[in-house]
A = this chain, B = another copy of it.
Amino acid sequence: MNKINVYFVSDGTGLSTEQLGKSILIQFPDINFKYKTIPFVNTLQKAQTLAKKINKEPSSMVFSTLIHDELNDPFDSGDFFHINFLKQTIKQIEAIKKFKPVPTMGLDYRFGETASYEKRITAMDFTISSDDGNNVERYNKADIIIVGVSRTGKTPVSIYLALMNGLAVANYPLVDSELESRELPKSLQQFKNKLFGLTIAPSRLQEIREKRRSTGKYASPHQVQAEIRYSELLFNKYDIPYIDTTSISVEEISASIRTRLFNNVI
């Protein structure tokens, strides 16, 4: 079957349209979709030009979050499948809950903004300057301290939590001396409630490390297995919650950490 062009169309960044649209289309694994996100469709001319282009392609699909009727019309009257995620739900809310909407454009970029812009930027500064064991003396200001051996994903997870949730996240790499002594450094012990561990399957870690540095003991099977084993021993000894990152995404690891540390649970 030929590829089906799928357009995520938005008057803002298009992120929410894209994300939900992909979550939906993943449920149709037999179909070959080709995705394209079109942000900032905020004038009638842009909407008409795009709809005209899509009209010429066979079987195309459009998922949108356009809020104004005027910009929607070219897509609704096009000869292709179009679903507006905002409109259909807003209509249901109006009908059932009797709330009155006040349409506002460009609001779909706000995901992750559980924290204010200021807080996120301050958290980012903290997190970058506290990457990879730096600035241990500022751990009292951290919301979370992520620990784990080299290449378990500490940095991207820290950055994600800072950027998306405004959390000040430090990360600390466990090295041979700590692993062999079976002791956490004093700098970490005093902040036990903030600690979260990352682990990973040894075979996967070996693969990741080999790409970075294939010689020396860094990526050797023996070294990798010992580091993982000892780090998990440490997590258990100090009652540090931890997660296996082998087959899950940065987003999922981050959500798990928030859930576990901040009781964001049922």
Q: Does A67 contact B (CB under 8 A)?
A: yes
Contact A13 B252 (CB under 8 A): yes
Q: Does A175 contact B (CB under 8 A)?
A: no
Contact B111 A255 (CB under 8 A): no
Cα–Cα distance between A88 and B22 once the two chains are bound (Å): 15
> Which of A27-35, A183-191, A222-230, A234-242 lies on the face that meets chain B?
A27-35
Cα–Cα distance between A184 and B263 once the two chains are bound (Å): 50
Cα–Cα distance between A211 and B203 once the two chains are bound (Å): 47
Contact A155 B19 (CB under 8 A): no
Shortest distance from the beta carbon of A251 to any chain B beta carbon, whole Å: 4
Shortest distance from the beta carbon of A41 to any chain B beta carbon, whole Å: 7
How many copies make up the complex?
2
Contact with B along A197-223 (1 / 0, CB 8 A): 000000000000000000000000000
Contact B156 A120 (CB under 8 A): yes
Cα–Cα distance between A22 and B46 once the two chains are bound (Å): 25
Cα–Cα distance between A112 and B49 once the two chains are bound (Å): 26
Cα–Cα distance between A226 and B108 once the two chains are bound (Å): 35
Cα–Cα distance between A266 and B38 once the two chains are bound (Å): 7
Contact with B along A126-137 (1 / 0, CB 8 A): 001001000000
Cα–Cα distance between A192 and B88 once the two chains are bound (Å): 45
Per the 8 Å Cβ criterion, residues 12-32 of A in contact with B are 12-16, 18-20, 22-24, 26-31
Question: Residues of B contacting A255 with CB < 8 Å?
Answer: 12-15, 39-40, 109
Shortest distance from the beta carbon of A113 to any chain B beta carbon, whole Å: 7
Question: Residues of B contacting A88 with CB < 8 Å?
Answer: 88
Most chain B C-beta atoms within 10 Å of own C-beta, residue among A41, A50, A61, A99: A99
Contact B19 A15 (CB under 8 A): yes
- A-B complex: 5 closest residue pairs judged by Cβ atoms: A19-B111, A13-B255, A109-B251, A27-B101, A16-B19
7 CB < 8 A contacts A-B: A13-B255, A19-B112, A27-B67, A30-B102, A40-B259, A109-B255, A110-B251
